[in-house]
């Protein structure tokens, strides 16, 4: 019987990769649980409050976006609106060209992964260097990130040491400190030579127009400090109503994402350098990216726009742990990706319509989500949508006959008693492919259809 | 769902039993134990004969029209106003939450006759109780008067996540004389069943099951206990196929056997 693409991918996964993903995600989840429950008596309440705030933002974007634009402009920031990935990339290129810039340093941003900014700039003759260590390794390996927060969760340090050696960053040495020191040395020169620094934003306050960027390596700070121009590429859903909401969200983001109380670096950016400031970029641009988000907003899955990209749902997901992020064939893997990726695919929904099926609907993702997104419900809605749009689903048993039996009591009872046949048939002859497939790795229980009903009837007549 | 909006049993303790399709087809002893335990607690158990399935297989499988067809049938089969008790957190979740989702675009006019409108579904949801939740929170029973000498590993079905069912099960089993509940690692992780998932993702499903079995075996229990036969069918099926069978029991079988061991039943 046919099986799903993600299942086939998991089957072929190298044991080293599987072990790296499993250990990395389990560790992430365990740390999250510990730090969250150590510090807060009722973290679930915080998750629910944060979810309500983000849902409020998502449903009032039409009010908040112009407000943010006005605040940013008042701070001397040039604001751009990009409806598509292409428009966002083109806006970055236009800014670079207007300054005669050819070198960019870039801190980690998922939205730039979405738009494929790095490869696009390289194609247009611009050097674009990833400065987050994980993203840097992805870049030199021509690989893809496999996790939202830990892009190289699928690699172990031996593989990373080999990549560094290949890239001419010193002889093989898999000591993590050596690897980090070498990357640091290499990147210093890149920061100093760069014309433009690009970051994302984890949050944007509608009240003050402040951008907030969190990192652990300090690379975003370097991207802001050295180059004369700062570009921030930001998804339109990144807004929070007030500065004081940051107290809640920064607490939840660090704890959910990396199990930290607070990330090592938290930047608050209000605009380009003001006349009195000794350093900082002289020019600042914010590019707000839609790239399918308003379509998501119009769908029954708009709750997914609350997501703050912490990766907690990936870490806890048993399917992600078995399959790895690359199995999802898209920028966003795991439970959040299984909802977001097919939606962002727009007209190509069908090509990723299998992603929402890659879940037992166990609900662990919902339970850990810092903004309380009911991910299983959204996965189910997308399964329904795929079926309605006639997207084939390999290995999913057809339900028509079952529905027919289960809505006719007489037929159901007949099937219960008749089903006893399977106790006597070799399983290869059972005319139900799903059952044959199930029997491939399970011992079958004895069919005792109707036995309870008979017992009950006998008992009542006595 | 708001707990205060739930339908509690009246003084006569009349209940309708939803036996579940799995117990109807494979695990008749679980349904029998449910009847015996509820009767021991003074309930009058009705078994609506027209019942089939809660509609979840098609709902999870993405075939919502088929699911709605079965949910409509379940609404007819379980007509009335007494609590519906089901020995499965999974079927209870379908009645209380999944069915509403399946009908979210079907209108709420209440004038669609056979179309099964949302308020009717909501009413059935409010009446539906998972068995352990019912015994502890509807009947107020928190200690069990039986004896059962065994070390048991308690597997929490994912549909009991965030509900009061697993805590209720712990309370009841924990009070049985002679019984020890052994802790199992990574209890928040799913066993890998997931309905049709286990068929269309056989590799991931069985890997998840193998991991779960590893944690269970490490705890060296005599019996694996759960409130859902679907998880047990998967885990015991995997273990059996691998030639290392484990004994699985529904918690209500344990409650019933504990009473029998003490000569109460």
Closest in B158, B204, B238 to A319, CB measured: B204
Per-residue pLDDT at B45 exceeds 70: yes
Taking one residue from A and the other from B, the number of pairs with CB-CB distance under 8 angstroms is 201
Q: What digits encode the pLDDT tens for the residues A291-302?
A: 999 999 999 999
Torsion of CA B82, B85, B89, B92, to 10 degrees: -30
Per-residue pLDDT at B2 exceeds 70: no
Backbone angles phi, psi at A270, to 5 degrees: -105, -10
Stretch B144-161: mean pLDDT: 96
- B196 to A397: CB separation less than 8 angstroms, yes or no: yes
- Cα–Cα distance measured from residue A395 to residue A398, given in angstroms and rounded to the nearest whole number: 9
Q: Report the candidate in A17, A49, A47 with the shortest Cα–Cα distance to residue A32.
A: A47
Half-sphere exposure of B132 (CA within 13 A, CB side): 29
- A358 to B245: CB separation less than 8 angstroms, yes or no: no
Q: What digits encode the pLDDT tens for the residues B182-241?
A: 999 999 999 999 999 999 999 999 999 999 999 999 999 999 999 999 999 999 999 999
Stretch A103-121: mean pLDDT: 97
Q: What is the pLDDT of residue B1?
A: 59
- pLDDT-derived band at B110 (thresholds 50, 70, 90) equals very low
Q: What digits encode the pLDDT tens for the residues A49-82?
A: 999 999 999 999 999 999 999 999 999 999 999 9
- Cα–Cα distance measured from residue A106 to residue A132, given in angstroms and rounded to the nearest whole number: 8
- B161 to A364: CB separation less than 8 angstroms, yes or no: yes
- Is A197 within 8 Å of A223 (Cβ atoms)? yes
Closest in B64, B203, B211 to A384, CB measured: B64
A359–B contact, CB cutoff 8 A: yes
- A406 to B70: CB separation less than 8 angstroms, yes or no: yes
Nearest CA in chain B to A437: B199
User: How far, in Å, are A461, B141, B167, B175, B255 from residue B155 at the CA level?
Assistant: 37, 21, 12, 17, 16
Q: What is the pLDDT of residue B76?
A: 95
Mean pLDDT, rounded, of chain B: 94
- Is A25 within 8 Å of A318 (Cβ atoms)? no
A7–B contact, CB cutoff 8 A: yes
Token duo for residue B201: 């993702």
Chain A CB contacts of B47 under 8 Å are: 453, 456
Question: Token match 């949050």: residue?
Answer: A203
Closest in A318, A383, A407 to B192, CB measured: A318
Q: Report the candidate in A420, A317, A446 with the shortest Cα–Cα distance to residue B237.
A: A446
- pLDDT-derived band at A154 (thresholds 50, 70, 90) equals very high
Q: Which of A 91-150 lie inside 8 A of B, CB atoms?
A: none
- Cα–Cα distance measured from residue A409 to residue B21, given in angstroms and rounded to the nearest whole number: 12
**Chain B interface test: which of A319, A328, A381, A389 (most B C-beta within 10 Å):** A319
Per-residue pLDDT at B111 exceeds 60: no
Q: What is the pLDDT of residue B206?
A: 97
Which distant-in-sequence residues (6+ apart) come within 8 Å of B234 by Cβ?
A442, B191, B192, B193, B198, B205, B209
- pLDDT-derived band at A428 (thresholds 50, 70, 90) equals confident
- B63 to A399: CB separation less than 8 angstroms, yes or no: yes
- Cα–Cα distance measured from residue A411 to residue B31, given in angstroms and rounded to the nearest whole number: 21
- Give B174 to chain A, closest Cα distance, Å: 25
H/E run at residue A183: helix A176-193
Interface ipTM: 0.95
Q: What is the pLDDT of residue B118?
A: 84
In chain B, where do the E strands start and end? 14-17, 44-46, 84-86, 128-130, 147-155, 177-182, 223-226, 248-250
Chain A CB contacts of B192 under 8 Å are: 318, 360
Chain A CB contacts of B162 under 8 Å are: 363, 367
Chain B CB contacts of A386 under 8 Å are: 62
- Is A339 within 8 Å of A369 (Cβ atoms)? no
- Give the homologous superfamily in CATH for domain A11-294: NagB/RpiA/CoA transferase-like (3.40.50.10420)
- Cα–Cα distance measured from residue B192 to residue B205, given in angstroms and rounded to the nearest whole number: 4
Per-residue pLDDT at B109 exceeds 70: no
- pLDDT-derived band at B113 (thresholds 50, 70, 90) equals very low
Nearest CA in chain B to A2: B200
Q: What digits encode the pLDDT tens for the residues A7-40?
A: 999 999 999 999 999 999 999 999 999 999 998 9
Share of chain A above pLDDT 90, in %: 92
Indicate the domain borders of chain A: 11-294, 403-461
- pLDDT-derived band at A429 (thresholds 50, 70, 90) equals confident
Q: What is the pLDDT of residue B35?
A: 98
Per-residue pLDDT at A84 exceeds 90: yes
- Give A146 to chain B, closest Cα distance, Å: 18
Mean pLDDT, rounded, of chain A: 96
Stretch A165-182: mean pLDDT: 95
pTM of the model: 0.96
The strand pairing partners of A196, in sequence order, are A104, A229
Q: Which of A 235-294 lie inside 8 A of B, CB atoms?
A: none
- Is B140 within 8 Å of B155 (Cβ atoms)? no
Per-residue pLDDT at B52 exceeds 70: yes
Q: What is the pLDDT of residue A51?
A: 98
Stretch B155-170: mean pLDDT: 94
Chain B CB contacts of A409 under 8 Å are: 49-52, 77
Q: What is the pLDDT of residue A76?
A: 96
- A409 to B77: CB separation less than 8 angstroms, yes or no: yes
The strand pairing partners of A267, in sequence order, are A213
Q: What is the pLDDT of residue A462?
A: 79
Q: What digits encode the pLDDT tens for the residues A356-412?
A: 999 999 999 999 999 999 999 999 999 999 999 999 999 999 999 999 999 999 999
Token duo for residue A290: 């839609």
A451–B contact, CB cutoff 8 A: yes
Q: What digits encode the pLDDT tens for the residues A208-223?
A: 999 999 999 999 999 9
Closest in A3, A318, A456 to B208, CB measured: A318
- B207 to A1: CB separation less than 8 angstroms, yes or no: no
């Amino acid at each position: 019987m046919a099986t799903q693409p993600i299942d086939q991918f998991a089957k072929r996964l190298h044991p080293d990769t599987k072990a790296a993903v499993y250990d990395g995600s389990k560790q992430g989840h365990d740390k999250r649980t510990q730090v969250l429950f150590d510090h807060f008596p009722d973290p679930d309440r915080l998750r629910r409050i944060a979810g309500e705030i983000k849902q409020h933002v998502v449903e009032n974007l039409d009010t908040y976006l112009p407000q943010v634009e006005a605040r940013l402009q008042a701070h001397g920031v040039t604001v751009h609106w990009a409806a598509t990935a292409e428009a966002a990339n083109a806006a970055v290129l236009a800014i670079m060209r207007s300054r005669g810039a050819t070198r960019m340093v870039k801190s980690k941003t998922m939205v730039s992964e979405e738009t494929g900014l790095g490869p696009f700039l390289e194609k247009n003759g611009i050097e674009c260097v990833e400065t987050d260590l994980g993203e840097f390794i992805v870049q030199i390996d021509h690989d893809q990130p496999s996790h939202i927060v830990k892009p190289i969760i699928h690699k172990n340090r031996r593989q990373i040491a080999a990549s560094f050696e290949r890239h001419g960053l010193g002889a093989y040495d898999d000591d993590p400190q050596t690897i980090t020191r070498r990357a640091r040395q290499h990147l210093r020169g890149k920061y100093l030579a760069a014309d433009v620094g690009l970051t994302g934003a984890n949050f944007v306050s509608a009240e003050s127009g402040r951008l907030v960027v969190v990192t652990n390596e300090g690379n975003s700070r370097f991207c802001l400090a050295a180059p004369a121009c700062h570009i921030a590429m930001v998804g339109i859903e990144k807004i929070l109503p007030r500065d004081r909401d940051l107290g809640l969200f920064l607490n939840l983001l660090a704890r959910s994402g990396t199990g930290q109380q607070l990330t090592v670096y938290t930047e608050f950016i209000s605009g380009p350098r003001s006349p009195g400031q000794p350093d900082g970029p002289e020019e600042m641009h914010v590019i707000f990216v839609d790239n399918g988000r308003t379509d998501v907003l119009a769908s029954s899955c708009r709750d997914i726009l609350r997501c703050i990209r912490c990766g907690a749902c990936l870490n806890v997901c048993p399917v992600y742990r078995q399959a790895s992020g690359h199995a999802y064939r898209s920028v966003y893997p795991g439970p959040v990706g299984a909802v977001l990726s097919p939606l962002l695919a727009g007209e190509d929904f069908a090509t990723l319509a299998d992603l929402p099926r890659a879940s037992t609907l166990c609900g662990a993702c919902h339970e850990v989500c810092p903004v309380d997104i009911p991910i299983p419900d959204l996965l189910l809605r997308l399964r329904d949508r795929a079926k309605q749009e006639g997207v084939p689903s390999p290995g999913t048993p057809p339900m028509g006959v079952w529905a027919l039996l289960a809505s006719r009591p007489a037929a159901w009872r007949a099937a219960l008693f008749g089903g006893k046949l399977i106790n006597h048939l070799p399983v290869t002859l059972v005319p139900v492919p799903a059952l044959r497939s199930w029997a491939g790795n399970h011992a079958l229980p004895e069919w005792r259809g109707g036995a309870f009903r008979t017992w009950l009837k006998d008992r009542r007549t006595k | 769902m708001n707990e205060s909006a739930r339908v509690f049993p009246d003084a006569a303790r009349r209940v309708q039993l939803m036996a579940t399709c799995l117990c109807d087809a494979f695990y008749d002893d679980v349904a029998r134990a449910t009847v015996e335990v509820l009767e021991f607690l003074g309930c009058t158990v009705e078994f609506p004969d027209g019942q089939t399935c809660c509609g979840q297989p098609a709902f999870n499988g993405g075939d919502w029209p088929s699911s709605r067809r079965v949910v409509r049938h379940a609404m007819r089969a379980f007509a009335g106003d007494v609590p519906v008790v089901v020995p499965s957190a999974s079927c209870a979740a379908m009645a209380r939450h999944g069915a509403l989702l399946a009908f979210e675009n079907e209108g709420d006019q209440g004038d669609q006759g056979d179309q099964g409108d949302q308020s009717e579904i909501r009413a059935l949801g409010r009446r539906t109780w998972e068995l352990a939740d019912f015994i502890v929170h509807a009947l107020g029973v928190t200690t069990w008067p039986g004896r059962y000498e065994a070390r048991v590993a308690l597997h929490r079905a994912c549909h009991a996540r965030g509900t009061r069912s697993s805590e209720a099960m712990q309370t009841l089993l924990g009070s049985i004389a002679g019984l020890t509940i052994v802790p199992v690692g990574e209890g928040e992780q799913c066993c890998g069943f997931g309905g049709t998932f286990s068929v269309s993702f056989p590799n991931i499903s069985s890997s998840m099951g193998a991991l779960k079995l590893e944690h269970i075996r490490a705890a060296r229990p005599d019996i694996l206990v759960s409130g859902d036969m679907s998880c047990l069918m998967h885990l015991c099926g995997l273990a059996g196929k691998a030639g290392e069978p484990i004994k699985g029991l529904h918690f209500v079988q344990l409650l019933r056997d504990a009473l029998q061991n003490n000569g109460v039943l």
